[in-house]
Amino acid sequence: MTKSEILARIRAEKVVALIRADGPASLLECSRALSAGGLNCIELTMTTPGAIELCATVSHAMPHALIGLGTVLDADTARRGAEAGARFIVTPAVRPEVVCACRELGVPVLGGAMTPTEILASWELGVDVVKVFPAEFFGPGYIKSIKGPFPKIELMPTGGVTPENVAEFLRNGAFATAAGSALVSPKALAARDWAAITERAKQFAAAASAA
């Protein structure tokens, strides 16, 4: 897939499912549970031990899904993630070396930022989408406020996104959203309650579609 095709798919699906875990056990099954619920854009974070190897495993086992690597802080990790099959790279903050590496690789990069100054700086570095993080402190109205002076900057709120507010984030101008613990709860992941995760994914997918 080309960069534009990957970004178009993220925009169309509207919700990136973010998986954070203490270890790699059963994360393939978690990814399958999310997919069964209608969410196929999945971000595996580097805070999970063995995340790059897991990215390769999930990408191979689920070719229909769009697997990304998150919490990427340096260029080497971005390159290794892309080589392992990551279709997109996500940072939690403004990381110029990561953006530069992704542009060289032709891989979409979603760069973390919060304030107007950070958001503009990240966009000018060349991120494809600005990950507004943590979004729960300002809510959907913040996206609308940022889009006022920066209408061309694509924004993806992350943190605090729920089935109750995902549509409002989108209606206020979000390119897409990303959901972590509100979607994949640590309790459900630890219990391997895949049915609960699938049901939660369905709720997110339905709410996003309603936008």
Exactly one of 13, 14, 131, 154 is catalytic; name it. Answer: 131
CB 77 within 8 A of CB 55: no
| 131 labelled catalytic | yes
Identify the burial level of 40 via C-beta atoms within 10 angstroms of its C-beta, where 0-12 means exposed, 13-18 middle and 19 or more buried.
buried
Structure tokens at 189: 């992941």
CA dihedral of 115, 117, 123, 129, whole degrees rounded to 10: 10
Helix (H, G, I), strand (E, B) or coil at 5: helix
Q: At what angle do helices 194-209 and 27-36 cross, to 10 degrees?
A: 40
The 3-state secondary structure of 95-139, one letter per residue: CHHHHHHHHHHCCCEEEEECCHHHHHHHHHHCCCEEEECCHHHCC
Is the N-terminal amide bond of 134 cis, ω within 30° of 0?
Answer: yes
30 and 56 in contact (C-beta within 8 Å)?
A: no
List the catalytic residue out of 13, 14, 29, 43.
43
Is 43 a known active-site residue?
yes
Rounded Cα gap, residues 8 and 144, in angstroms: 21
Residue 171 phi/psi, 5-degree rounding, is: -65, -25
Annotated catalytic residues are 43, 131
